[in-house]
């Protein structure tokens, strides 16, 4: 109960709970639609999904300010490559939330002249760019950690000279082991990578780059939401700016 209260007391925590509920409904609706006799359940899930989606739009109204603050914070990163990726990612998030606010105003009848299809495309495009840049930052951080781990491992292990026939296989095996070890030792980086990769399914589908079914998008959104909830419950699991 204390955990639930701590999550719901935070705007970001409430949004993650709503988001998890929305994508759970999407996933269940996809699984139940082909089955006969589940029409009423599917309609209820569809109605709940729409209601939760509308509620999330209210939570996101102030996110433009938060994205601007995040952009300002990313400029303080000491590493040039990480600073570039984070700053551009946050700027695209600012543009995404601006588009999202305009779409909300149009749905409320406050901006009837707005073309929702065009603004929805712009929102998806900036969200897509933001996720790509965030994943680029994750890949960069992972490469740096793997490089440090590789140097440490090379000092600790005896140098063995592999045969030419086994050289490629041993290199691939060593690379995969180093990758898994690096991710295991960096839980915040693993969570951030999983979250961004799962979120990418939705804009890829909306932009027509890679079309996915609603079940896969729902599963990706649910996993991403749960990863986000972990960072809300345990702030030390959030990937820090350095």
pLDDT score at 82: 92
The single-letter DSSP state of residue 157 is S
Phi, psi of 10 (to 5 degrees): -110, 140
Q: Is 26 within the bounds of a domain?
A: no
Q: Is 31 within the bounds of a domain?
A: no
pLDDT score at 167: 56
Backbone dihedral region of 163: left (phi > 0), alpha (psi from -120 to 50 degrees) or beta?
A: beta
pLDDT score at 166: 54
Confidence band for 14, pLDDT divided at 50, 70 and 90: confident
pLDDT score at 152: 75
Confidence band for 194, pLDDT divided at 50, 70 and 90: very high
pLDDT per position as a tens digit, 204-231: 999 999 988 999 999 999 999 999 999 9
Q: Is 57 within the bounds of a domain?
A: no
| CB 127 within 8 Å of CB 203 | yes
pLDDT score at 168: 57
Q: Is 114 within the bounds of a domain?
A: yes
pLDDT per position as a tens digit, 64-93: 888 899 999 999 899 999 999 999 999 999
Closest residue by Cα to residue 97 from 72, 134, 74, 122 = 122
Residue 223 belongs to domain spanning? 64-153+169-237
191/188 Cα distance (integer angstroms): 5
What dihedral do alpha carbons 199, 208, 41, 36 form, nearest 10°? -130
Q: Is 12 within the bounds of a domain?
A: no
Q: Is 135 within the bounds of a domain?
A: yes
Q: 3-state DSSP: the chain helix, strand, coil percent, rounded to 5?
A: 80, 0, 20
Confidence band for 6, pLDDT divided at 50, 70 and 90: low
DSSP string, 212-227: --HHHHHHHHHHHHHH
Spell out the residues 6+ positions from residue 222 whose beta carbon is closer than 8 angstroms to its own: 20, 23, 24, 27
DSSP string, 161-202: ---TTTHHHHHHHHHHHHHHHHHHH-HHHHHHHHHHHHHTHH
Q: Is 221 within the bounds of a domain?
A: yes
What share of the chain in percent tops pLDDT 70? 87
Question: According to the 3-state scheme, what is the secondary structure of 95-113?
Answer: HHHHHHHHHHHHHCCCCCC
pLDDT per position as a tens digit, 98-137: 999 999 888 888 888 889 999 999 999 999 999 999 999 9
Overall number of domains in the chain: 1
The single-letter DSSP state of residue 207 is T
Please determine, for residue 2, whether its predicted confidence score (pLDDT) is greater than 80.
no
pLDDT score at 10: 63
Of 158 and 72, the structure prediction assigns the larger pLDDT to: 72
What share of the chain in percent tops pLDDT 90? 52
Q: Is 52 within the bounds of a domain?
A: no
Of 84 and 159, the structure prediction assigns the larger pLDDT to: 84
Average pLDDT of the chain is 86
Q: How far is CA 128 from CA 60, 101, 121, 132, 176, in A?
A: 17, 17, 10, 6, 28
């Amino acid at each position: 109960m204390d955990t639930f209260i701590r999550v719901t007391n935070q705007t970001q925590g409430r949004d993650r709970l709503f988001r998890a509920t929305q994508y759970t409904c999407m996933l269940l609706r996809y699984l139940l639609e082909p089955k006969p006799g589940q029409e009423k359940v599917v309609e209820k899930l569809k109605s709940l999904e729409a209601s939760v989606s509308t509620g999330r739009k209210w939570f996101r109204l102030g996110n433009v300010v938060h994205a601007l603050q995040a952009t300002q914070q990313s400029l303080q990163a000491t590493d040039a490559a990480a600073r570039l990726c984070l700053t551009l990612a946050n700027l695209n998030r600012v543009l995404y939330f601006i588009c999202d606010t305009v779409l909300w105003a149009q749905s409320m009848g406050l901006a009837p002249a707005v073309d929702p299809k065009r603004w929805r495309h712009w929102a998806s495009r900036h969200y897509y760019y933001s996720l790509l840049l965030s994943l680029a930052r994750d890949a960069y951080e992972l490469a740096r950690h793997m490089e440090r781990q590789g140097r440490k491992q090379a000092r600790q292990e005896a140098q063995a000279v592999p045969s030419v026939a086994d050289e490629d296989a041993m290199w691939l095996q060593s690379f995969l082991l180093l990758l898994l070890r690096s991710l295991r030792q960096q839980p915040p980086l693993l969570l951030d990578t999983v979250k961004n990769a799962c979120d990418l399914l939705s804009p890829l589908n909306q932009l027509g780059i890679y079309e996915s079914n609603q079940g896969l998008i729902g599963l990706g959104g649910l996993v991403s939401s749960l990863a986000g909830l972990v960072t809300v419950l345990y702030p030390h699991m959030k990937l820090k700016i350095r």
